[in-house]
Amino acid sequence: MDMLNFKTMLAVGETVGVEFKRCGNGISADTYETVCSFLNRFGGDIYLGVENNGEIIGLTEKAIPGMIKNFIAMVSNPDIISPTVFLAPKVIEYEGKQIIQIHVPPSSEVHSCKKVIYDRVYDADVKVTATGQIAQMYIRKQNIYTEKRVFPYVKDEDLRFDLLPRIRQMAVNRQPGHPWGNMSDAELLQSAGLIGEDADTGKKGYNLAAVMLLGRDHVIKDVSPVYRTDALLRKVNVDRYDDRLIVETNLIDSYDLLVQFAEKHLLDKFYLEGYQRLSLRGVIVREMISNTLIHREFTSSLTARFIIEKERMFTENANRADTGDYITPDNYRPNPKNPVIAAFFRNIWLADELGSGVRKLFHYVSKYSGENPEMVDGDVFRVVVPLDDGYSFETEKFKAQNKAQIKHIGNGECALFEESILEYLKNHPTTTQKELADVIGKTRRGVQEAIARLKEKGLLKREGARKNGRWVVVDKFKSSKCKS
């Protein structure tokens, strides 16, 4: 065992995958509840001889062999753990004291402890009694995808074939010569994996993915009665909402409706990537919306949500969790929850390759709000993006690059030297006067006056049309006096 990591774990304390048991008088009964919850969730490690706060108490050397023997016998007893498991406790020594480590791997089955099913929630072992929760545990354990469930009685007229021309065009726009462009409707649906065969009955038909992507609204409601996405704006009336959109249609139209809701209520801040303007709002919203539509568990009764608040926005959707961890670009392991739907979205350019969305969110959210997003892979998958309407990446970058060229006046208010404007326009020739005013923190009128002075001095000129033109800065310009 890596003792440095073990020391860190003791300091962090109990988590979804770590449990401490004192076990001063033998193995406590709730140890087996933890075994059950670890088997049913992501697995984990139990340490016997450790206080809840991570303090090492230790076990007597004489008692350890009997404790291990008793533990193995109990987890092999179907009256205690069902189905039974074989676990091999290990004795480790830390700072002169002996403790027992029990590693519990995640199981492909749902287990019970004394006929009660337990699940691991944060650092607690929780009894699971609701039928819906138990059903979700079985779904999580199954190595199948519910999107592939076949509905043999769904007919052509139950699907929105009128969406297919648009879908073909989207695919061709992304990839000229895309095979969908020349396929018939039936060939496209077959190619996209929207037609399957029930392994039990042998019946063929459209699957759940086909219904969610292309189904008419009443058909979607029939096969997935609880499917909906609730979009809310909560900036003024935080107890209820300022605006609301309930989306219960196919995934293609749902994407458009939710993006429009976001565009209606979020700032589209100025940002240049190279010499091209990029919509940070568009990139971030695209990743959040496509993720919550693609990777949700459609059999869950949980309503998916997209909520915009004053200081954050977030999405929540039912999920078949893999780890329960916070996701970062370094630890993320792509695992599609609905690979057929995910591939369909990638073909029409509404999503990227698996894993790239996480990297994009972390990269662009920091440019949009100055902070990183938060992503949690739990039974409810959450993506939280901080919001700060007053933050501007371009302004912060420009101030940092031109710190030496800032003149402080009075109470700290500062005016930019004219050469700072020239330097910026040299690197960003297509910037508009309004955008330049936003970047340097001046009024548009102030920018217009400064530009007029620079033109008079022959240091700046304009080429091309008013809308599509560009600024040209004279190569060897001389410093002009800073004017507020």
Amino acid letter, residue 60: T
Tokens in use for 219?
């058909």
Q: Is the pLDDT of residue 143 over 70?
A: no
CA gap 211, 199 in Å, rounded: 19
pLDDT at residue 414, as a whole number: 35
Residue for token digits 């309930």? 246
Cα–Cα–Cα angle for 203, 208, 212, nearest 5°? 145
pLDDT > 70 fraction of the chain, expressed in percent and rounded = 91
CA distance 482 to 454: 12
230 or 135, greater pLDDT:
230
Stretch 328-342: mean pLDDT, rounded? 81
83 preceded by a cis bond (ω within 30 of 0): yes
User: Is the model more confident about 136 or about 164?
Assistant: 164
Q: What's the mean per-residue pLDDT of the chain?
A: 87
- In terms of Cβ atoms closer than 10 Å to its own Cβ (0-12, 13-18, 19+), residue 374 is middle
What is the tens place of the pLDDT at every residue in 93-124?
999 999 999 999 888 789 999 999 999 988 99
Question: Average pLDDT of 170-195?
Answer: 93
pLDDT value of position 449: 85
Provide the token pair at 431. Answer: 């910037």
Average pLDDT over residues 238-261: 96
Q: Which of 349, 353, 344 is nearest to 188 (CA)?
A: 344
Q: What is the 3-state secondary structure (H, E, C) of 337-360?
A: CCHHHHHHHHHCCCCCCCCHHHHH
Does an H or E element contain 35, and which?
helix 30-40
Alpha-carbon radius of gyration of the chain = 29
Q: What is the structure's pLDDT at 369?
A: 93
- pLDDT tens-digit series, residues 268-299: 998 888 878 899 999 999 999 999 999 898 88
For 51-69, the three-class secondary structure string (H helix, E strand, C coil) is CCCCCECCCCCCCHHHHHH
| pLDDT number for residue 475 | 67
Separation between Cα atoms, residue 22 and residue 286, nearest integer Å: 49
Q: Compute the average pLDDT of residues 249-259.
A: 97
Q: What is the pLDDT of residue 1?
A: 61
Cα–Cα distance measured from residue 115 to residue 69, given in angstroms and rounded to the nearest whole number: 23
Q: Structural domains in the chain? A: 3-141 (3.30.950.30), 146-223 (no CATH), 231-336+351-386 (3.30.565.60), 393-473 (1.10.10.10)
